[in-house]
């Protein structure tokens, strides 16, 4: 049986993966925009080897980045399904709502914002969360 600390760590992996994917997607967008900005506009004829190797390096980097994003997305989906299944087994609808907001929102949910959103006191949210962590089976 896992401890509450171990369960929290496993539940937080999903949000961590989402953050990593977002960073990689931002990097991909920056690389793409940077490559467009550096394209010469004066001549439409193919250039020699030096420019070709630069393009090849760019394509290799983009391919690696795409593969990393695809791999992390597959892991994220698998982990989300596992966490959703565990949360759905909780008996309390309140516990399910709180756990989904905290661990499946894609970013670490702020407990204060969550309490306002679902109209519960902070103390009540913490109590629900604690009990849910004790009961959830991952």
User: Residue 93's domain spans which residues?
Assistant: 4-39+51-135
The total number of structural domains in the chain stands at 1
Evaluate whether residue 74 is within a structural domain.
yes
Cβ atoms of 107 and 18 within 8 Å: the answer is yes
Does some domain include residue 56? yes
pTM: 0.78
> 78 in a domain, yes or no?
yes
With respect to residue 112, please indicate whether it lies within any of the assigned structural domains.
Answer: yes
Does residue 25 sit within a domain?
yes
pLDDT above 90 for 113: no
Check pLDDT > 90 for residue 109.
Answer: no
Q: What is the dihedral of CA 103, 106, 112, 115, to 10 degrees?
A: -70
pLDDT digits (tens, 9 = 90+) for 7-49: 999 999 999 999 999 999 999 999 888 876 665 554 555 555 5
Q: Give the model's pLDDT for residue 34.
A: 80
User: Residue 45: inside a domain, yes or no?
Assistant: no
Residue 44 lies in a domain: no
State whether residue 1 is helix, strand or coil: coil
pLDDT tens-digit map of 48-64: 555 568 888 888 999 99
Q: Per the domain annotation, does 46 fall within a domain? A: no
């Amino acid at each position: 049986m896992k401890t509450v600390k171990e369960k929290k760590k496993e539940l937080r992996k999903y949000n961590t993966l989402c953050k990593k994917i977002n960073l990689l997607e931002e990097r991909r967008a920056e690389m793409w925009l940077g490559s467009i900005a550096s394209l010469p506009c004066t001549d439409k004829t193919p250039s020699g080897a030096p420019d070709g190797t630069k393009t090849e390096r760019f394509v290799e980097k983009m391919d690696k980045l795409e593969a990393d994003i695809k791999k992390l997305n597959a892991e994220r989906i698998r982990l989300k399904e596992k966490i959703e299944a565990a949360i759905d087994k909780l008996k309390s609808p309140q516990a399910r709502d709180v756990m989904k907001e905290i661990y499946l929102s894609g970013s670490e949910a702020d407990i204060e914002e969550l309490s306002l959103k679902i109209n519960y006191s902070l103390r009540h949210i913490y109590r629900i969360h604690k009990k849910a962590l004790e009961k959830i089976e991952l």
